[in-house]
Amino acid sequence: MQETGSGGSEQEEPEELPEFQDLTVRGRTLRTWSISAGVVLLAISAAFGGLKKAGAETPHVDAGTAIEAGQFEVTIQRVVTVKDLKPLFTPDDGGALIAVVTKLKVTDDTGTTPPSDLIRLIGVPGVKDTDPPLGTTNVGDETMDPVLTPDAGEDIAYVWKLPKATQLPTQVDLTVQGYEHEDESILDHHEKWLPDKVVADSTVKVTRK
């Protein structure tokens, strides 16, 4: 007969169950699986732009606003279309030229020429978004690819060709490239400024001359 009452053997304590996040699957805890899945999700989201924050978006600036681009301070002044700029630049037969006139100031202590990748036209018919300009010129003295003096603002025009039968734009979108200073370049072990990221974009009305 089974004994009853309080004199029986003590009831065993139930085993303490592991925390949910500490359970193991294929030798790894669920906590680890969750972290790994999160990292993959972040990578996928970043690849498709899902993690872009408003603060990380490229600033949109108006003409006349100074833009800090690392090696340069850039101010977009105006955009003009012209039939030619002889003897500096000549369009194709029946075509025209489009020029982005900037105020450029070198922020470094070493003078340099205007970089060809500083300005890009975006969505202009007849000009690819990646097309570099034909060249640059100092608006004041018409010097081609002039050397810019540190801390001295110069009016510099970036010039592209517009092909024949292309309707002249009434406004253009453009971007301004930023540059990052490297104390020692991996390639030649000298300090230099290297392209970093686009620091601003702008939409500017076009005037005709």
pLDDT of residue 27: 58
pLDDT at 56: 59
Range of the domain at 191: 65-208
Task: Say if 28 falls within a structural domain.
Answer: no
- Give the pLDDT confidence score for residue 129 in this predicted structure: 97
Residue 7 lies in a domain: no
Does a structural domain hold residue 90? yes
Would the CA dihedral through 133, 60, 181, 52 be positive or negative? negative
Nearest to 176 by CA among 108, 117, 125: 117
Whether residue 109 lies inside any domain: the answer is yes
> In sequence order, which ranges of the chain are alpha helices (DSSP H)?
30-47
| The pLDDT of residue 161 | 96
Please state, in angstroms and rounded to a whole number, the distance separating the CA atoms of residues 162 and 125.
Answer: 8
Taking the CB of residue 131, how many other CB atoms lie within 10 A of it? 13
Q: What is the pLDDT of residue 142?
A: 94
Q: Confirm if 174 and 120 have CB atoms less than 8 A apart.
A: yes
Tokens encoding 95 = 């075509």
User: What H or E segment, with its residue span, contains residue 138?
Assistant: strand 135-138
Summarize pLDDT for 137-182 with one digit per residue, the tens.
999 999 999 999 998 999 999 999 999 877 899 999 999 999 999 8
Supply the pLDDT for residue 9.
45
pTM: 0.71
CB 69 within 8 A of CB 118: yes
pLDDT along the chain (209 residues), means of 10: 46 52 54 48 40 63 97 98 94 95 95 96 95 97 94 95 89 97 70 92 96
The tally of domains found in the chain comes to 1
- At residue 13, the pLDDT reads 53
The partner residues of 76 in beta bridges, in order of sequence, read 102
Residue 8 lies in a domain: no
Q: What token pair was written down for 14?
A: 């139930």
- Residue 196 inside a domain? The answer is yes
**What single string gives the DSSP state of each residue in 102-125?**
EEEEE-SSS-BPPPTTSEEEES-T
User: Residue 191 falls within a domain, yes or no?
Assistant: yes
> What pLDDT sits at residue 75?
98
Is 181 a domain residue? yes
Which residues touch 111 (CB under 8 Å, ≥6 apart)? 147, 148, 149, 150
Q: Three-state SS string across 179-207, please?
A: EEEECCCCCCCCCEEEEEEEEEEEEEEEE
